[in-house]
């Protein structure tokens, strides 16, 4: 399938994604019953994942959204922008960051360092995808839906220059 100037092929099917999210939702509900966790969703990429995940959360919880980006096109710019839009008081709260994909792990490291300064009661991450690159350096998260290779992926919220977020499945770039 052509998106802008690149070919992509199906990588993770919609049904696999939905099954895995239902599992993670159950796990989070069991771990956070009576903790009223605050989900902090990292925009833009995680918006669809968060929307599906949150509907499997039937314990008391809250959700808010921030923006934090380091990507242009298919390459990381190597610069992590500032966190914008954190409107909630997170002191003494149980925080769960909702991310679409962890690649080098740089964005997540900065985010965790930033949020720790506000003394949350606990701080965990749920990520839809984690690439080998960050697994190799030992980054581990409490909840990871899928571990994947280092290739570029789109769909289910993830974009290629703003295209492809609407796709129901996750696609991987096809090397010509």
Q: Name the site residues for ligand 5GP (rule: CB under 6 A).
A: 45, 70-71, 76, 99-108, 152-154, 158-159
Task: Report how far Cα 20 is from the mean position of its chain's Cα atoms.
Answer: 14
State in angstroms the smallest separation of the CB of 58 from ligand 5GP: 27
- The verdict on whether 100 is a catalytic residue reads no
Q: Is 100 in the site for Mg ion (CB under 5 A)?
A: yes
Torsion of CA 107, 155, 17, 97, to 10 degrees: 20
Q: Which does residue 38 touch among ligand 5GP, Mg ion, none (CB within 5 to 8 A, set by kind)?
A: none
Q: What angle do the packed helices 14-32 and 47-54 form, to 10 degrees?
A: 60
Which segment (15-23, 40-48, 126-134, 136-144) binds Mg ion by CB under 5 A? 40-48
Task: Report how far Cα 143 is from the mean position of its chain's Cα atoms.
Answer: 10
Q: Kindly give the pairing relationship between strand 153-154 and strand 170-173.
A: antiparallel
State in angstroms the smallest separation of the CB of 27 from ligand 5GP: 22
Among positive and negative, which fits the CA dihedral 32, 14, 149, 74? negative
Q: Is 157 in the site for Mg ion (CB under 5 A)?
A: no
52, 100, 103, 159: the active-site residue: 103
Q: Which does residue 71 touch among Mg ion, ligand 5GP, none (CB within 5 to 8 A, set by kind)?
A: ligand 5GP
3-state DSSP assignment of residue 137 = coil
- The CA distance from 36 to 25, in Å, is 14
Q: Which does residue 28 touch among Mg ion, ligand 5GP, none (CB within 5 to 8 A, set by kind)?
A: none
Annotated active-site positions, please? 103
């Amino acid at each position: 399938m052509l998106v802008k100037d690149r070919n992509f092929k199906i990588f993770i099917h919609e049904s696999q994604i939905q099954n895995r999210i239902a599992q993670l939702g159950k796990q989070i509900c069991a771990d956070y019953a009576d903790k009223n966790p605050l989900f902090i969703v990292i925009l833009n990429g995680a918006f669809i994942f968060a929307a599906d995940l949150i509907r499997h959360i039937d314990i008391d919880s809250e959700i808010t959204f921030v923006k934090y980006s380091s990507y242009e096109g298919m390459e990381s710019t190597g610069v992590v922008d500032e966190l914008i839009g954190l409107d909630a008081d997170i002191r003494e709260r149980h925080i769960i960051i909702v991310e679409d994909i962890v690649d080098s792990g740089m964005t997540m490291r900065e985010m965790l360092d930033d949020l720790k300064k506000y003394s949350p009661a606990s701080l965990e991450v749920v990520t839809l995808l984690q690439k080998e690159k960050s697994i190799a350096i030992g980054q581990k998260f409490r909840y990871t839906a899928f571990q994947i290779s280092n290739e570029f992926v789109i769909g289910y919220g993830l974009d290629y220059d703003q295209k492809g977020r609407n796709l129901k499945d996750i696609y991987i770039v096809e090397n010509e």
